[in-house]
Structure 1
Amino acid sequence: MVSKLDLYRIFCVVGRNESFSGAAKELFMTQPAISQSIMQLEKELDTRLFNRTPKGVTPTNEGSLLLEYVNSAINLIEIGEEKIAEFKNLTIGELRIGVGDTISKYFLLPQLEAFRNRYPSLKLKIENGTTDTLISLLKSGEVDIVVCNLPVDDDALNVRSCMDIHDTFVYGDKYRKLLARPIGFQELVKLPLIFLEPSSNSRKYVEDFLLSKGVKISPEFELGSHDLVVEFARINMGIACVTREFTEDYLESGMLQEVQLKEQIPHRSIGVCSLKSVPLSPASTRFLELLVPE
């Protein structure tokens, strides 16, 4: 007898393949058995989950909604099963980390190297994206922890700070004379500004702070990566909002100069987020100890 959980597993595979025959091939079952399982689930829920067409199947509105929840639930179940195996001295298992490109390059790489040297048998999976995207992956069970720009305000998460960072503005040679003296925010925003795209947590933090001072920004350029922002400043495209700690090579070499602000932007942090409702795996716990030592 097929259990309810088995029906949901079949349901997810059909939804992913949008085909009974594709699901049958993936699950090593017959197509009639797949069709019968979906019909049984539809009968139990008293709801049609798929529209049948000559080319395959597509989820109904109800089916799409259910797929979202069932995929998350099955992902979490699979994670639970994997976490049991990880108790064998971390000799097997996987650590899945969500992290932004910039933090990965400037903060996380040395930590990953040290962790891999200590636990060479563990598989590492890295997912990149914006903070909002990574938090969604965490909640759906697709990553174990997220390393991201703080603040993150979410009651479902444990948030631990790892490192303080500072937002600042930098410029190239073209603006050297103009910015030879301290300036205020009102004067700063009259210059051509280079910012990260609006979805970035770093951008939101600085933008919210400036708004609290009655200053609204209208950037000349909105870019997808910190490295691009820095390079645009280097070739004199404008004044760039950057993270000081991630721009030290440019500042120390003299390729960029830091704007002397009359008022400093309050520091923020890089942190690690995990779900309160899901215990950390041994691998996640060890990695967290590396990032946030006692």
Structure 2
Amino acid sequence: MKGKLDLYRVFNVVSQKNSFSKAAEELFMTQSAVSQSILKLEKELDIQLFYRTSKGVVLTNEGKILNDYVNSALGIIQAAEDKLLDFKMLKNGELRIGVGDTISRYFLLPYLEDFRFKYPGIKLKILNGTTSEIVTFIKSGAADVGICNLPIHDEHLEITPCMEIHDIFVCGTKYKKITAKPVRLERLMELPLIFLEKKTISRMYVERFIKKKGLQVSPVFELGSYDLVMDFAKNNLGISCVVKEFAEEYLSKGLLYEVVLEEEIPSRSIGIVSLKSVPLSRAAEKFVGGINALK
């Protein structure tokens, strides 16, 4: 069967043109080569496919039956080739992105909008999760790329920082007086603190910094939502640890006030994560390239 595919292509064109000479022009072959291909196919199938006449060739009844199937088979092959071309030209396909709620809202949305505008045929699938869950998505093949809080240390992952962020403390009007001058960490630890839940990258990063200073973190609230962390501070329930870049709207409107520390917490990054061992799809390459171009 495999060796007959070219013969079937020749047969299909001859059946359309009803002529060896016209088929030869279509296929960029000599008339003799077309004739020999049909003879070879007839010999292999042990059946006559065409009646030879002075005006050209006409399908036999057996040839008509074969032609129906050949037309269908070649049509399916053409459809498959067209589909592959669509994937190559990013007219079709799927991009699966692992990301958390906070990064989706405060970082990713403009890039998704830009990608969607450029490649409307690509279906976007968003897999929501914590950083550790996103890493699992990547390693299991459920997601093509992830957008995560860094640092992540994993030799199997390709990690590309794409945005620098700064962890700060903020408060509402009740605690505004402490923002008048830089605050010592020891003093900050005496105040009611509001953090994200344990085992989040953001929480662990800040907590690690504080512990290196010989201090312990004992928050009065541990919340699962970044928006709640900001809202709790806005409503004077304590001092919240947030990412400055994500709290800009609250800060600019005077809903929150930054508590400046005597010793700033070192900056960190948001990064794009993928498997080293698996090449990115064209859609994923374009998406990552779009982030790097717009950042």
Question: What TM-score comes out, normalization by structure 1 length?
Answer: 0.70
In the alignment, structure 1 segments of 5+ residues that lack a partner are 1-82
For 1:265 and 1:219, locate their aligned partners in 2 and report how far apart those are by CA, in whole Å.
18
Secondary structure of the 2:177 match is coil
Residues 245-277 of structure 1: CA distance to partner in whole angstroms, max 9, x if unpaired? 000111111111100210100000010000001
Q: Which residue of 2 aligns with 1:40?
A: none
Cα distance in 1 between the residues matched to 2:178 and 2:293: 44
Asked if structure 2 preserves the Cα contact closer than 8 Å seen for 1:166 and 1:245, the reply is yes
CA deviations over 1:116-144 (Å, ceiling 9, x no partner): 00000000000111000110111000000
Alignment RMSD: 1.6
What letter corresponds to residue 177 of structure 2 in structure 1?
Answer: K
1:161 aligns with 2:161: yes
- Unpaired runs of 5+ residues, structure 2, are 1-82
Aligned-partner residue type, residue 269 of structure 2: S
| 8 Å contact from structure 2 (residues 171, 259) kept in 1 | yes
Q: 2:243 maps to what in 1? A: 243
**Aligned-partner Cα distance in 2 for 1:289–1:252:** 31
1:207 correspondence with 2:212: no
Q: What is the number of equivalent residue pairs in this alignment?
A: 212
TM-score normalized by the length of structure 2:
0.70
Match of 2:89 in 1: 89
**Contact in 2 for aligned 1:161/1:292 (Cα 8 Å):** no
**Is it true that 1:141 corresponds to 2:152 in the alignment?**
no
SS of the residue 1:120 aligns to: coil
How many angstroms does 1:177 deviate by?
Answer: 2.2
Checking the alignment, whether the CA contact within 8 Å between 1:130 and 1:199 is kept in structure 2 is no
Following superposition, the deviation at residue 214 of structure 1 comes to 1.2
Spell out the pairing of 1:1-294 with structure 2 (5 A cutoff): 87-293=87-293
Q: 1:84 to 1:256 in 2, by over 3 A?
A: same
Q: Shift of residue 85 of structure 1?
A: 7.4
Aligned 8 A contact 1:86 1:281 in 2: no
Partner Cα distance (2:102, 2:86) in 1: 29
- Report sequence identity in percent: 56
Runs of 4+ in 1 over 2 A off after TM superposition: 83-88, 177-181
The offset of 1:180, in angstroms, is 2.5
